[in-house]
Copies of this chain bind each other. A is one copy, B any other.
Amino acid sequence: MSDPRTTRAWPHPDVVADLAALRAAAPLTHCITNVVVSNVTANVLLATGASPAMVHAPEEAGDLAAVAGGLLVNLGTVTAEQGEAARVAVRAAVGAGVPWVLDPVAVGPLPMRTALAHELLEHRPAVVRANASEVLALAGGTGGRGVDATSGPEAALDAARELVAATGAVVAISGPVDHLVTADGVLHVPGGDVLLTRVTGAGCALGALVAAFLAVAPDPLRAATAAHAVVAVAAERASSASRGPGSFAVGLLDELSRLDTHAH
């Protein structure tokens, strides 16, 4: 796991360089995301150095997506109308060459979002960010493989490879060690903290940060790697100074803003 050829963590030079590029560009990051996490998502983007924008009316989502640096579609509280906004935004993004991220929250047991996720996958996201059970559900078509939602990323590696083959996306599976799967293999991003699972939106905000890095990184794997490594190190630092999930969430934003790209 600590093989340097297959592991990336802060302060790997690529991660540091991509964060410096993010801060220099402050890319407009269009997030169509769920109502529970929209605030923390915007704050994570701002703290790291990106410029968040949330527009999810179908009448406007395409105009914004076409001029964004990256687009996130997160299905957490999707409705029929927001689903239509996602369709419009993804088509506009693809048409304009804007890379996009799919975060297929809770696909599998819930039918509307599962069908929508499959439909959106045909528009070739640059990155799919998900947990193990969501990856299994997407690859299997209907979920229901009997894998516990708390399974680690390892349980979903075969499914992730299927998804990579079918869509061309980088598939990022969150877990104690994040697994970033491409046709060339698996990159591991260690670190983070269990408190990331005790505050809402940490994973969703990570998906948005991948979208932001897509605007500046040389390729989708680099973008996904930078986002995961940056959150992992900020979480470690925030955890050591926190008394619980409340102070951890505050510290996470502080630490994201304090990451030093010059000292390395």
Which residues does A use to contact B, with CB under 8 Å? 34-40, 42-43, 46-47, 52-57, 59-60, 63-64, 67, 76-81, 106, 109-113, 197-201, 242-247, 249-258
Contacts and interface: CB of A to CB of B under 8 A. Distances in A.
Nearest to A34: B54
A53 to B, nearest CB: 7
Nearest to A241: B243
Contacts of A198: 46-47, 257
Contacts of A247: 250-251, 254
Given A111-B59, A254-B246, A254-B247, A37 B34 contact: no
Given A112-B57, A258-B243, A36 B47 contact: no
A79 B180 CA distance: 36
Given A43-B249, A53-B106, A60-B112, 15 more contacts: A35-B38, A37-B39, A39-B200, A43-B200, A47-B246, A56-B77, A57-B80, A63-B110, A64-B109, A79-B81, A198-B257, A245-B253, A246-B254, A247-B251, A250-B250
A56 B79 contact: yes
Contact of A43 (B34, B199, B242): B199
A243 B251 CA distance: 8
A62 B57 CA distance: 22
Interface centre among A36, A109, A197, A247 (most CB of B within 10 A): A36
Contacts of A77: 54-57
A201 B35 CA distance: 14
A38 B40 CA distance: 12
